[in-house]
Structure 1
Amino acid sequence: MNVSPLLVVAATTLVTLVAAAAVPRFRRPGSLAHATPVGIVVGIAASVALDALDIWTAAAYVAVVTFVAAGIAVLRVGEGRAVVRRARTRLLFGVPWGSLLAAGGVVAFYLFAQFGAQNPRSPLVVPFVSWSYFYPFGTVTAAFAHASLGHVTGNVIATLALAPLAEYAFSHFPTDRGASAFSSWRTNPYVRAFVLFPLGVLVVGLLTAVFSWGATIGFSGVVFAFAGFALVRYPLATVLAVSAREVISLLWTVIRDPIVFASASPSFSPPWWAGIAVQGHMFGFLIGAVLASVLVMRRDNRPSAARIWFGAVLLASSMSLWAVWWYGAVDDFVLYRAAGVLLVATLAIILTVVVRADDRTLVRDVSTRKAAFAVLLLPVVTMSLVAVPVNVTTVADADLPGDPVEIRGYEVTYAEDVTNERVAGVDFPYFAAATNVSASGVIVANEDRQIWTEQVSAGELGFYGDRSVKVGGVGWTERVTVHRRGWVASGGSAVYNVYVVPPDGDSRHVFASESSTADPRIGGRKVRVDAAGGGFGLEVLRNDSVVESVQIPGENETAMAGGLTFVRNGTRVYAEYGNTSVQVASEETYE
């Protein structure tokens, strides 16, 4: 159903009238009359652009325009005008240019460097991860690459909400008394807006990649640095910006999916907190807090203790800095929620003490302020020192089992209960149990790039049946498809084979699970389902000894072995003995 032009004209005219009524310059006789033709013209133009869209998509655009127009109108009235004036005293033309450049750079990297322009929902990820210091390309690109469209969208929205506050605190114009703009390159607002602030973002991004523990990817470390920087200077405004992030996210989802239909259905996904790089987030947050603390001390413009405390608690809680987790068994994860809450409380206390500390002497030449700043700096230094041995690990001796598919240095295979070479490569005294983590699923390795990762878990492949992974590098990408096919013994477990299909190649069998015996007994015999050799067979057992075996018959066919007749009926296999017939196996199903 196409949207009516009349509907668009009416909605856009209404938005224009609301904005005109709120803006002071329109507050004079006849102003609304002058505004009405403008609204109609804009509405007609919008109707031409939106006439081909369905009514819900058009409604989404009208809703977003309404939000933006109302926001602009509010900023032109009363306190809103004061906010705009204050922004112009700090930002060039009142615009956070550096924040926009940072967000645009992240989007451009995703769309072009990660081949997202071809399919934004399926980017190339593996080569852009910070696997090791011995793979510098990944270390340099990790902070600016992303794992999915949702990942980059979330970080860009958070950047647009939080970075302007940090840029406002940084200021395009000099804030020192007596200093004037354009007196030097350091005080030049254009240099500060288009060079110094973006350069600072770049440096912080590199720091979060270099000193994060293990393989990381994403701009979120920098986002948390924005949050930490803004919080120390403007705690309550930062909390408000986090709420604004949710509004921006809502508007974006409204444009993408103006109406959603959903129904109950099974799904497979790890817990949401298992995907959080909490150490990277904390490191970025502390980097931002340290930089802002230096700025606050130099300018001697400190917020109150109450604002810092409540702002830190609210921001750290809402941005999930409490989500401390680690690996459990296969496809299991452990969340240390109590430790995370204690971490948030400790962080709030430290920030409050650092910001409110004064220059009173504590010990000899050490002031209270210096001591508090050292306490804040200590976890940053500690995390950095821990990151070095973690990130110098290599996977040179990590041979993949079976017959992996090889593509220009990459190896792709499937394995179960093998040592996670990436985690095991970290050797910390007294923490051997924590680093002795097994992996089961689709494994991707590249010795030259120091890559070893469980790209698709065994549980995910078992749920969907078919998954694919992308490997590649600068200027090239290849897709490898993995299939799982299996049968479930009646009363027993699934028996399955896994096949890897290289690009432009034949399917390769890489894994066979253990066999499983069906519960029913027929004619004094039991039936075992087997996956040896890449196919599926039925073994007839008497007294736990194999009497005879046969391949599972084709659809609507029969086969005989060990005195039993096996009948295939669609996805089920029955064993017949005399007048007795029982189901012994059924084909595995996937979502």
Structure 2
Amino acid sequence: MVQLPPWLPAPAQVAIPVVVLLSLALVRRLDAPAGRWGRRLRSRFLLGVPWGTLVSVMGVLAVYLFVQQGAGNWRNPVTLPFSSWSYLYPVGWLLAPFSHTGPGHLVGNLTTTLAVAPLAEYFYGHFPSKRGENPFFSRTSNPWVRAFVLFPAGVALVGLATSVFAWGPIIGFSGVAFAFVGFALVRYPLMTVVAVSAQGAIRTTYRALLDPRIFGSASRRFGEPWWYGIAVQGHVLGLLLGILLGVAVLYRRRERVGALRLWTGAVVLGMSMTLWALWWYRGESTYVLYRGWGVVFVVTLAVLTTVAATADRRPLFGDVSRQQVGLLALLLPLAVMVGVAIPVNLTTVGDASVPGGGPAIEVHGYDVTYAENVQNQKVSAIDVSMFGETTNVTTSGVIVVNDDREIWTQAVSKGRLAFDGRTRVRVGGVGWAEDVRVQRRGWSAVNGGTAYQVWLRGPDDDEWTHVFASQPAVAGPTLANHSVVVRPADGEFRLLVTRNNSTVADAPIPDPGGNVTLAGIRFTREGRKLFASLDGTRVQVAARETYR
């Protein structure tokens, strides 16, 4: 078998663009547009190209590569300092809408942008909408200015709005992507549905070009519910801003779309883009999804959009026109979102101490520690209880605090660390980044709980720092009325034999192949398993934790 040089593309990577181009050529021949496609694009775009979309995409990509240092660490960019933690931390809310948590997040938002933003830019247009107008009469009508300055500037302003007026910390371009969807929806509802569907095709093609063949196998996986972490409030805010801007352009140009088409497009988009995923916390690793109310929310939003976009200038009552009522219908939910966002985003971490009371690793103003059952300072910043839910929630895991940047966050959940065993938390700022390593070790008692400990290691540390020890774990089997307990303490695991809740004897858990006798019971370590023997009876009492 001939071995190709590694720098040559795989046959499938060559075949994908060839097949796409050949199929487009065939479609062009069958459709015989006779220049119609190009003329239509050039009627709205300078030189027939959506330059504003391309400039915006390149700007977001530049933030990921150079500000978040994704160029040097593509899969693990710096994220903590680039979230919108508080109004008192400008770097966060200025860069949050253009930053991303990783390559999957980035590719998802950019493929959506590439699919939908050209349609929004087509509606906006690089040329005046009125016939006979000189496009170079003013700066705002100059197609070069509209393509390379005004459209990207509008994108930046909408991005900042999604950061400033979202509820709590957000990160990502998805709010702007939803604004593109809302803006295009009010003029081209069904085409917007097609464009959003095309996003999946673009993403799949991109991934196929990067890696045309992948292998998979059955394996254990850890993961929260897929809808956990969706920033629905940021998505809705972006969508409403886009709809409002689109309706304003419709009113100015005196254009109108069919109500049924618009309502249908709005409902289909809301469902397909998971705007119905209204969720909240129910505990440390438990969440609730209000799917039923989410569907009601999407349909209500579609009705508001349809009423606003199809309204005309006829008076509804007195001097109040239908268009004014339509705009008010859109402004009210936006006003509610802004009213909630301002007090939430004005909250501060202040001089918050390291949670849990244990030691922490300090890296240039960041305090990294591990704690369990501590109040989430960001979610609980304003104590509210309604509809059976509350903002007073607790969290467990690796916690990162930075008073100067108003950061308080769970960087790694307790469950994730228990599954992985070790991980890294990346902290940093503009121009620098450091990793704090995290390690968990534990013993699981048979028919009992798990005793475990957590260590941290800073970038300049020579040794691991012990930061947390769990409660002891009691094994289910008993021998001669004695219980076996695994107790974590000071970085080691001790084996206790108890009777009537009193410790009879204890010793460190032996090394692999070793043994120890406590209260007449012989404990033998075989690899990761620990066995107890007494009077010819031998049972397993514990096993060292295994990780993925």
Shorter chain as normaliser: what TM range?
Answer: over 0.9
Match of 2:427 in 1: 471
* Higher mean C-alpha deviation, range 76-85 or range 322-331: 76-85
What TM-score, normalized by structure 1, do the two folds share?
Answer: 0.89
Q: Give the counterpart letter for 2:18 in structure 1.
A: V
Partner of 2:206: 252
Partner residue in 1 for 2:133: 179
Q: Partner of 2:409: helix, strand, or coil?
A: strand
Distance 1:490 1:80, change over 3 A: farther
Q: CA-to-partner distance for each residue in 1:444-496, whole Å, 9 max, x for gaps? A: 11011000001110000001111111000111100011111000111111110
Quickly say closer, same or farther: Cα 1:399–1:283, change in 2 above 3 A: same
Question: What aligned pairs does 1:297-308 form with structure 2 within 5 A after superposition?
Answer: 297-308=251-262
512-521 or 173-182, which deviates more: 173-182
CA contact under 8 A between 1:75 and 1:84: conserved in structure 2? Answer: no
* Paired amino acid for 1:65: V
- Structure-2 residue corresponding to 1:362: 316
- Tell me how far apart the structure 1 counterparts of residues 186 and 510 of structure 2 sit (CA, whole Å): 70
2:509 corresponds in structure 1 to: 552
TM-superposed CA distance for 1:380, in Å, is 1.0
Q: Which amino acid aligns with 2:23?
A: A
Question: Partner residue of 1:129?
Answer: 83
Name the structure where strand makes up a greater proportion of residues.
2
Give the Cα–Cα distance (whole angstroms) in 2 for the partners of residues 283 and 483 of structure 1: 39
Specify every segment of 5 or more residues in structure 2 that has no aligned partner in the other structure, as ranges: none
1:81 Cα deviation (Å)?
A: 4.0
The one of 433, 457, 462 aligned to 1:501: 457
Q: Distance in 2 between matches of 1:389 and 1:329?
A: 24
Structure 2 residue 53 is matched with structure 1 residue 53 = no
Deviation of the 1:140 alpha carbon: 0.3
> Is the radius of gyration larger for structure 1 or structure 2?
1
Question: In terms of mean alpha carbon deviation, does 528-537 or 423-432 score higher?
Answer: 423-432
- Counterpart of 1:71 in structure 2 is 24
Amino acid at match of 1:578: D
Partner of 2:273: 319
Distance 2:6 2:393 in 1: 56
- Whichever residue aligns with residue 269 of structure 1, its letter is G
Secondary structure at the counterpart of residue 583 of structure 1: strand
Greater Cα offset, 523-532 or 453-462: 523-532
Q: Quote the residue 2:538 is aligned against.
A: 581
Q: Using the TM superposition, name which of 79-88 and 301-310 deviates more.
A: 79-88
Q: 1:346 aligns with which of 294, 297, 300?
A: 300
Distance 1:443 1:93 in 2: 51
CA contact (8 A) 2:52 2:121 kept: yes
Cα 1:463–1:93 shift into 2, 3 Å: same
Out of 439, 442, 447, the position equivalent to 1:483 is 439
Cα distance, 1:155 vs structure 2: 0.6
Distance 1:122 1:443 in 2: 18
- The AA in structure 1 aligned to 2:502 is S
Contact 2:119 2:184 in 1 (8 A): yes
Equivalent residue number for residue 243 of structure 2: 289
Bigger relative contact order, structure 1 or 2, given CA contacts below 8 A and separation 6+?
2
Change (3 A) 1:410 1:61: same
Asked if structure 2 preserves the Cα contact closer than 8 Å seen for 1:404 and 1:413, the reply is yes
Q: 1:406 to 1:369 in 2, by over 3 A?
A: same
Paired letter, 2:270: A
The alignment's TM-score, normalised by the length of structure 2, stands at 0.96
Superimposed CA distance per residue, residues 212-253 of structure 1 (whole angstroms, 9 cap, x where no aligned partner): 000100000000000000000111111111121111111111
1:452 aligns with 2:408: yes
Tell me how far apart the structure 1 counterparts of residues 34 and 105 of structure 2 sit (CA, whole Å). 33
1:269 to 2:226 alignment:
no
- 1:524 CA drift (Å): 2.9
Q: Identify the residue that residue 394 of structure 1 maps to in structure 2.
A: 348
Structure 2 CA distance, aligned partners of 1:249 and 1:242?
Answer: 11
Deviation at 1:433, TM superposition (A): 4.8
Q: Deviations over 1:400-421 (max 9, x none)?
A: 2200111110011111111001
1:342-368 CA-to-partner distances (Å, cap 9, x unmatched) read: 111111111111121112212221111
CA distance in 2, matches of 1:75, 1:285: 34
CA distance in 2, matches of 1:312, 1:576: 68
Matched, 1:426 2:382: yes
- Give 1:70's aligned amino acid: S
Cα distance in 1 for partners of 2:191, 2:533 equals 75
Which residue is 1:563 aligned to?
520
1:323–1:340 contact (8 Å) kept in structure 2: yes
- How far 1:308 moved relative to its partner? 0.3
Could you tell me which amino acid in structure 2 is paired with residue 62 of structure 1?
A
More helix as a share of residues:
1
Partner of 1:524: 481
Q: Compute the displacement of 1:80 (Å).
A: 8.2
1:569 Cα deviation from its structure 2 partner: 1.1
Q: How does 1:77-88 map to 2 (within 5 A)?
A: 77-79=31-33, 81-88=35-42
Alignment of 1:85-234 (within 5 A): 85-234=39-188
Q: Matched residues, percent identical? A: 49
Flag the 1:80–1:384 CA change in 2: closer, same or farther, 3 A.
farther
Distance in 2 between residues matched to 1:121 and 1:51, nearest whole Å: 22
Letter in 2 for 1:463: F
What amino acid sits opposite 1:489 in the alignment? A
Q: Could you tell me which amino acid in structure 1 is paired with residue 448 of structure 2?
A: G
Give per-residue Cα distances to partners, 1:301-335, cap 9 Å, x unaligned. Answer: 11111110111111111111111111111111111
Conserved 8 A contact 2:383-2:392? no
Name the aligned partner's letter for residue 526 of structure 1: S
Query: What is the CA–CA distance in structure 1 between the aligned matches of 2:68 and 2:284, rounded to whole Å?
Result: 30
> Secondary structure of the equivalent of 1:261?
coil
- For residues 185 and 415 of structure 2, what CA distance do their matches in structure 1 show? 40
- Residue 570 of structure 1 deviates from its aligned partner by 0.9
Residue-by-residue CA offset, 1:184-232 (whole Å, 9 max, x unaligned)? 1111100000000000000000000000000100000000000000000
Q: For residues 529-552 of structure 1, give each alpha carbon's deviation from its aligned partner in whole angstroms, at most 9, with x where no partner exists.
A: 100222100111122211111100
CA distance in 2, matches of 1:311, 1:80: 31
* Counterpart check, 1:329 vs 2:286: no
Structure 1 position 64, deviation (Å): 2.5
Partner amino acid, structure 2, of 1:510: V
Q: CA contact under 8 A between 2:384 and 2:392: conserved in structure 1?
A: no
Cα deviation digits, residues 262-314 of structure 1 (max 9, x gap): 11111011122112100100000000000000000111111111110111111
Q: Is the 8 A contact 1:75 1:81 kept in 2?
A: no
Distance apart, 1:108 and its partner CA: 1.1
Q: Describe the superposition over 1:374-412 as per-residue Cα deviations: whole angstroms up to 9, x where unpaired.
A: 111111111111100110111124322200111110011
In structure 2, C-alpha distance between the alignment counterparts of 1:533 and 1:52, rounded to whole Å: 52
Between the aligned partners of 1:391 and 1:561, the Cα distance in structure 2 is 57
Distance 1:59 1:492, change over 3 A: same
Deviation string, structure 1 residues 42-80 (Cα, Å, up to 9, x no partner): xxxxxxxx88436xx321332133214433664575348
- Report the CA distance shift for 1:380/1:103 in structure 2 as closer, same or farther (over 3 A): same
Cα distance in 1 for partners of 2:163, 2:471 equals 41
Report the 3-state secondary structure (helix = DSSP H, G, I; strand = E; otherwise coil) of the residue aligned with 2:399: strand
2:454–2:467 CA contact under 8 A, matched in 1:
yes
Following the alignment from structure 2 to structure 1, what is the Cα–Cα distance between the partners of residues 247 and 391?
Answer: 35
The alignment partner of 2:424 has SS state of strand
Aligned-residue offset at 1:560: 2.4
Is this contact kept in 1: 2:384–2:390, CA < 8 A? no
Q: Is the Cα contact below 8 Å between 1:3 and 1:58 reproduced in 2? A: no
Distance 1:255 1:323 in 2: 31
Q: Paired residue for 1:43?
A: none
